[in-house]
Amino acid sequence: MSNIDNQNTVGNTSSFAKGLFIGGLIGAAAALLFAPKPGRDLRSDLSDKITVVADKTKDVATVVSSKATDLAKTVSTKTEDVAKTVSDSKDIILSSVARASADVADEAVKADQEIKDAAAQAAKETQKQLNTTS
């Protein structure tokens, strides 16, 4: 099962649970309204049920808030870790490039000197040959 299927299943389950909860509340309210009770008892029952629903709503809000805070902290920590890793990697890469550039520059200077030395040597040998043939 793919990640998208898992997300859809979780979303469908969550929607079903919400629908079940709301349906239960509507059913309870309808049962109270249509039950043959005197007004005072009905108002008392409604007040009790509203208090229970309000308490459960506060509990759910607290849990959701706590989870959101935890998630925000986790995301912040992970973001800082990634930023540090990228920064460290950047520094390592820059120092490697600088070392490689210095090595290439040194090799170029050596090659230039070798070419100059070889040219000077060739000039000396050519001069010797000219002097001996003359």
Q: Per-residue DSSP letters for 73-86? A: HHHHHHHHHHHHHH
How many independent structural domains does the chain possess?
Answer: 1
Look at residue 81 in the predicted model and tell me its pLDDT: 94
User: pTM for the whole thing?
Assistant: 0.44
All residue ranges of the chain with pLDDT < 70 are 1-13, 32, 35-37, 134
| Among 64, 66, 33, 71, residue whose Cα is nearest residue 49 | 33
CA angle 81/86/89 to nearest 5° reads 125
Look at residue 73 in the predicted model and tell me its pLDDT: 94
| Structural domain boundaries enclosing 54 | 37-133
CA distance 131 to 134: 5
The burial of 34, by beta-carbon neighbours within 10 Å (0-12 exposed, 13-18 middle, 19 or more buried), is given as: exposed
Look at residue 80 in the predicted model and tell me its pLDDT: 94
- The answer to whether residue 20 sits within a structural domain is no
- The answer to whether residue 95 sits within a structural domain is yes
- The answer to whether residue 75 sits within a structural domain is yes
Look at residue 4 in the predicted model and tell me its pLDDT: 52
For residues 29 and 42, the answer to whether their CB atoms sit within 8 Å is: no
Using DSSP, state whether 102 is helix, strand or coil. Answer: helix
Look at residue 129 in the predicted model and tell me its pLDDT: 84
Per DSSP, which regions of the chain are E strands?
none
- The answer to whether residue 71 sits within a structural domain is yes
